[in-house]
Structure formats: C-alpha cells, structure tokens
C-alpha cells in the first residue's frame, strides 16, 4: 500500500521563502550540477552548451562551434561528475561519452559499445565505473575503466524511463514510470525500494544523501525521508532541475536561471 505521512510546512505567503533566500541569477539551462569544488555546471541541451560558474561568476563556456575539432553536442543528457574534477556528458544521438575537466577542457570522446542500442541514461559509480541504461533492452550495463566489455548490472529488472545517481557508494534509481525509488550498492544488489508518495505527481527525484531526497513537483519542492515516512514542503520555486543539501541549507537551481539558497 502506497501510504506516506506528509508533513506540510504552513506558509503565510508562498513567496516568503524566496524573498528571504540568497539569490543568484545565471543563464537559463536544462540541466545543472554542483561539483566537489562548489562549481555550478549547467547544460543547455538544445544549443549543446556547457557553462561553469564559480563564486557567482561565469568562468568558462563550452560550445562545439568555438572549437576547431567541431565537437558538437547533438542530444546531450546531463552533466555527471566524477570526483575530483571530471565532468561527463553522454550524447545519446552521437552514441558518445565526452569527458571534460572542471575548466571545460575536453579530455576524451569515447564511442559507446556497439551492443548499446538506445542509450537513455548514464552515471559514474564511486568506483569510477560507468553505468549506461539501454532503453530498448531495458537493461543497465556496466563498463569498467579502460575496458570495452559490457557487464549486466543490477539484480532486479528496470523498464521505462529511469534516472541514476551516485550517492555515498550507492546507486539511487528513480523508476520514473513506476514512481518508485530503488537503492542499490555499487555491485547492483538491491538494498531498499520505496514507493513515492502517491499524493504527489513527482516530475524529478534528486537524492540529497542516504536518508533524504528532493521531490520536484509542479508546485515546488518537497524533502522526502522514506525511512521516516515524512515529506515536508521546502520551496515554491518552480522548474527546479537541481538541488544540493549542505549542513542546514539547500541550494536550488531552476531552469529559468535562478539559483537560491534557503535554510
């Protein structure tokens, strides 16, 4: 039974959390991430442009049109970090995984294995292995560094649209079509599986740590703790694409280019 005790934070004015928060404006984007150094990396998928912000300032921009190699991103998915300073983006249309350093210098462009038919998601584990989800085969494949052999990953089936995240030596899988969260170890052994709150129409799930995840809905952002069976409202900010928890504050990034920090 999909049941959850939702604890709602009562708001006098829905805009109050935004007015009291630290706010920074950046370029609109489709995907974003914050790396080990606190840099904000954003991706504009349609234009195929990566941007790096540090200390609130735009520092570097990658666009294939500005490079002699003409490495143009056709259908990039999202930036994925591999600590301390590597950034990966899988280009699903080109069947390639591109690696940059934190300053957006291109390091490598690696073609996907020929047996991957329809690449739909990509992440890097804490052991620096690649996990690639093939939507056509409904299978997650694992590739070890400097090897070209595919290994089946995961002890339970996956299907439909999914998103994978690396969290503290674990892999969080948002089974989007099934509205479920699966938590596995790096070897693919399932440790926990939870139904998302059925009272919410979740657009995106972003893990914050082993206990908490952010649930992005049309009305804003909730903080969900499945083990504690709690779900509290955090912010009415719309179109959130990334969220990071640090100490007692949260940094939210919206697709409209608003970056705010709320307590």
pTM: predicted TM-score of the whole model, two decimal places: 0.90
Q: What is the dihedral of CA 69, 75, 79, 85, to 10 degrees?
A: -20
pLDDT band, very low/low/confident/very high, at 2 (cuts 50, 70, 90): very low
pLDDT band, very low/low/confident/very high, at 5 (cuts 50, 70, 90): very low
For residue 218, give the H/E element and its range: none
Q: Which residues contact 127 (CB under 8 A, 6 or more apart)?
A: 186
From the number of C-beta atoms within 10 Å of its C-beta (0-12, 13-18, 19+), residue 256 rates as middle
Q: Which residues contact 255 (CB under 8 A, 6 or more apart)?
A: 28, 29, 30, 239, 240, 241
- What order do you get walking across the sheet with 180-185 strand by strand? 162-167, 170-175, 180-185, 190-195
**CA dist., res. 65 & res. 53, Å (int):** 20
User: CB 116: neighbour CB atoms within 10 A?
Assistant: 20
**Mean per-residue pLDDT of the chain:** 90
> Does pLDDT of 6 surpass 60?
no
CA-closest candidate to residue 250, choices 219, 212, 217, 218:
212
**CA dist., res. 27 & res. 46, Å (int):** 14
- pLDDT tens readout for residues 219-251: 999 999 999 999 999 999 999 999 999 888 999
Q: What is the dihedral of CA 220, 198, 246, 132, to 10 degrees?
A: -100
- pLDDT tens readout for residues 8-38: 333 333 343 444 458 999 999 999 999 999 9
- pLDDT tens readout for residues 30-70: 999 999 999 999 999 999 999 999 999 999 999 976 555 57
- pLDDT tens readout for residues 124-155: 999 999 999 999 999 999 998 778 789 999 99
Q: What is the pLDDT of residue 18?
A: 47
- The mean pLDDT value for 76-101 works out to 95
| Fold classified for 5-262 | Neuraminidase (2.120.10)
Q: What is the pLDDT of residue 247?
A: 85
């Amino acid at each position: 039974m999909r049941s959850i005790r939702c604890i709602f934070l009562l708001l006098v004015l829905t805009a109050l959390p935004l007015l009291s928060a630290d706010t920074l404006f950046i370029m609109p984007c489709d995907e974003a991430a914050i790396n080990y150094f606190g840099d904000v990396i954003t991706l504009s998928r349609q234009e195929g442009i990566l941007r790096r912000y540090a200390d609130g300032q735009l520092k570097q921009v990658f666009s294939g049109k500005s490079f002699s190699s003409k490495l143009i991103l056709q259908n990039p998915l999202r930036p994925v970090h591999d600590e301390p300073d590597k950034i990966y983006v899988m280009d699903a249309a080109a069947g390639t995984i591109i690696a940059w350093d934190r300053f957006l210098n291109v390091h490598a462009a690696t073609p996907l294995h020929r047996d991957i038919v329809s690449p739909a998601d990509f992440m890097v584990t804490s052991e620096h292995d690649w996990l690639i989800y093939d939507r056509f085969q409904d299978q997650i494949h694992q590739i070890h560094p400097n090897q070209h052999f595919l290994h089946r990953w995961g002890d339970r089936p996956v299907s439909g649209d999914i998103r994978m995240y690396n969290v503290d030596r674990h892999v969080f899988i948002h089974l989007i079509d099934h509205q479920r969260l699966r938590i596995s170890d790096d070897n693919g052994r399932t440790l926990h599986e939870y139904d998302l709150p059925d009272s919410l129409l979740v657009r995106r799930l972003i893990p914050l740590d082993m206990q908490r995840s952010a649930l992005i809905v049309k009305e804003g952002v909730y903080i969900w703790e499945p083990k504690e069976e709690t779900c509290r409202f955090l912010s009415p900010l719309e179109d959130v694409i990334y969220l990071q928890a640090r100490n007692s504050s949260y940094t939210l990034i919206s697709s409209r280019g608003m970056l705010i920090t709320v307590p």
